[in-house]
A and B are shown apart, each in its own frame.
Chain A
Amino acid sequence: MSEAMASPKDLHFQEFEEAAELLSADPGASTLSMSANSPIVTVGAAAAREDVKLDVSEDEESSQLLEEQKPSGSFWTFEFYQSFFNVDTLQVLERVKGSVMPLPGRNFIKHYLRSNPDLYGPFWICMTLVFSVAISGNVSTFLHEMVNSSYHYKPQFHRVTIAAVAIFLYAWLVPVGLWAFLTWRQGAERLIRGYTFLETVCIYGYSLSIFIPTSILWILPFEWLQWTLIVVAMMISGSVLILTFWPVVRDDSKVMAVGTVMTIIVLHALLAIGCKLYFFQVAVPTSLPVITTAPTIYTNLTVKPH
């Protein structure tokens, strides 16, 4: 503490030891130190790099107070998985609201998850998105082809399978890759504590929630409206992701930080545009390619201009 700064050298030395002991016990702990006459190397450096946003300081304390909830039981018991569903209705609604209205300075994970990531939200949001995209796509195809008198309505149920594969792969594999990458970078560069795997999956799942109303609005057959909706949805969804991941990534070298954020955004945009082009296009494709998030597949499909 600051009063110890003016004391003789042996007290300085003791303080260093104490702090070093605390740090070695919990290397992830964030520390705050006042500006030091003799700066304590690791502690001071970490504090200097700490996020200086006002919100965060109180969140650091509260996240230290709420110890990260380790799942109880071993991997094979039911209680292990039950700890991932420890949410109430109000909490889920609040999290969804936070993901569609991102405010600058509010890190979704620190503000809403608060060390209690859940799997209910990501799973059911993805499920709802799968069906909303498939059903809305079917309705929009029907509305467009209705004028064609030789058109016979088809339910196109296979789209559900394709949508399910694409969305679930995106919502589960991309967080795995991102988490692994961030953990590796964090380990190599000694950044502030990154996010756990569950928190990464959680943020990705909740960030997809804006696409549910967007996919329903895509039924309206105006091209300009559809592209406007994509831009708006991408802005909202992307900003949730950026606000969450930027504090973790920005301490890295400039290239890596910007590169990581750009990759997150590009993948997200590919999912949105891919869904729009595949499910809501006007022409029925002759071949049915399996969707991945790469855009090159769509060069095969013809799109009738409105």
Chain B
Amino acid sequence: MASPEDASRPFAGFSDVSIPEDIPVEGDISVPVPPSARDDELSTLDEPVKETVLRDLRAVGKKFVHVLYPKRSSVLLRDWDLWGPLLLCVTLALLLQGGAADSNEQGGPQFAEVFVVVWFGSIVITLNSKLLGGTLSFFQSLCVLGYCIMPLTVAMAVCRVVLFAISGKAGFIVRLVVVTASFGWSTFASTAFLSDSQPSNRKALVVYPVFLFYFVIGWMILTFSP
């Protein structure tokens, strides 16, 4: 009974099910699902909220550790997230508030200006590296650049403490050393991740904008004066 066009259709054998012979046709046309996957989905839905939040926090924390010791690992790249950069950017912008407040226009960067510089700068650098032929995706680059601001945020916190404790020239020297060290660390950490994805004759073209970006952020931190 198998004609060629019947054979090409799935369940071709059932095409004559409607013939009311004494063939009981019953069955289950569902695909058997391995029970474990279904259990996992349900369990994530049922878990306590604390568990969900902690999972994300642990992922962010793990990435911070990877920035502190930049080895060639792909954790930052594989599971990118933008929580860490957002946290760092908000912290940095908040710490940069409160400087030189006697005249709005002559002072340091406003909160929105810090945000714009960090995010717009990251986006421009990402676009630049993609246009030059990089293989990282857009959000992976944003993730790397954002996480590597961490040393500079730490330096900002240290600078604020130093400004309270030590004043005058000595304080300035200490701040200069701290900011320079963290700027170097940030640039080194981010190029460790970014430069691998570029063709070798264009590495410097990609590293230079990153250098400029962290230099500008370092400048904003160094010139903060309460």
In the bound assembly, the distance between CA atoms of A138 and B113 in angstroms comes to: 17
Does A158 touch B at the CB level, under 8 Å?
yes
Which A residues fall within an 8 A CB radius of B? 78, 81-82, 84-85, 87-90, 92, 120, 124, 127-128, 131, 135, 138, 152-158, 284, 288
Chain A contacts for B99, CB-based, 8 A? 155
Q: Is there an interface contact between B133 and A88, defined as CB atoms closer than 8 Å?
A: no
Most A Cβ at <10 Å: residue of B99, B203, B205: B205
13 example contacts (A-B, Cβ-Cβ < 8 A) are as follows A85-B128, A85-B132, A87-B202, A89-B202, A120-B131, A127-B212, A131-B219, A152-B225, A154-B106, A154-B225, A155-B100, A155-B108, A155-B224
Asked if B157 CB lies within 8 Å of chain A CBs, one says no
Would you call B205 and A157 a contact (CB within 8 A)? no
Q: Is residue B201 contacting chain A, with contact meaning CB distance below 8 A?
A: yes
User: Which residues from B are CB-within-8-Å of A127?
Assistant: 209, 212
B105 / chain A contacts, CB cutoff of 8 Å: 158, 288
Which residue of chain A is the closest to B206 with respect to CB atoms?
A89
Compute the total of residue contacts between A and B using a CB distance below 8 Å: 70
CA distance A153 to B163 in the complex (A): 14
Bound-complex Cα distance A152 to B209 (A): 32
B209 touches A155 (CB 8 A): no
Partner of A89, one of B130, B204, B209, B223: B204
Beta-carbon nearest neighbor of B100 in chain A: A154
Complex Cα spacing A131 to B220, Å: 11
The answer to the question of B146 belonging to the interface, with a C-beta cut-off of 8 Å to chain A, is no
Given A85-B132, A152-B225; A120-B100 close (CB under 8 Å):
no
Chain B residues near A131 (CB-CB < 8 A): 212, 215-216, 219
State which of A81, A89, A156 has its C-beta within 8 Å of the C-beta of B201: A89
Contact of A82 among B106, B110, B131 (CB under 8 A): B131
Minimal beta-carbon separation of B129 from chain A (angstroms): 10
The listed residue with most B CB atoms (<10 A of its CB), out of A88, A92, A288, is A88
Across the interface, name the chain B residue whose C-beta is closest to A89.
Answer: B204
Question: Is B203's CB under 8 angstroms from A89's CB?
Answer: yes
Q: State in angstroms the CA–CA spacing of A90 and B203 once bound together.
A: 11
- In the docked arrangement, what's the CA distance between A82 and B99, Å? 42
For residue A22, give the distance in angstroms from its CB to the closest CB of chain B: 37
Contact of A120 among B106, B113, B132 (CB under 8 A): B132
Q: Is the CB of B131 within 8 A of A157?
A: no
- Distance from B35 Cβ to chain A, minimum over Cβ atoms (Å): 44
Give complex CA distance A89, B198 in Å: 12
Which residues of B190-226 are within 8 A (CB) of A? 201-205, 208-209, 212, 215-216, 219-220, 223-225
Tell me which of A87, A89, A128, A156 contacts B106 (CB under 8 A): A156
Task: Tell me if B84 is interfacial: C-beta within 8 Å of chain A.
Answer: no
The chain B residue with its CB closest to the CB of A139 is B223
| Contact present for B131 and A155 (CB under 8 Å) | no
| Residue B85 is within 8 A (CB to CB) of chain A in the complex | no
A85–B219 CB distance below 8 A: no
Is the beta-carbon distance between B208 and A157 smaller than 8 angstroms?
no
How long is the Cα–Cα vector from A96 to B209 in the complex, in angstroms? 16
Chain A residue nearest to B131 (CB atoms) is A85
**Given A92, A128, A153, which contacts B225 in the complex, CB threshold below 8 Å?**
A153
With A152-B100, A155-B100, A157-B113 known as contacts, the answer to whether A81 contacts B131 (CB < 8 A) is yes
Contact present for A89 and B225 (CB under 8 Å): no
When distances are taken between beta carbons in the complex, the residues of chain B under 8 Å from A153 are 100, 223, 225
| Nearest B residue to A127, CB-CB | B212
Provide the residues of chain B in CB contact with A87, threshold 8 Å.
202, 205
The residues of A that contact B108 with a CB separation of less than 8 Å are 154-155, 157
Q: How far is the CA of A156 from the CA of B223 in the complex (A)?
A: 10
Contact call A138/B223, Cβ cutoff below 8 A: yes
Residues from chain B with Cβ under 8 Å of A78 in the complex? 130
**4 interchain residue pairs of minimum CB distance:** A155-B223, A85-B131, A88-B201, A154-B106
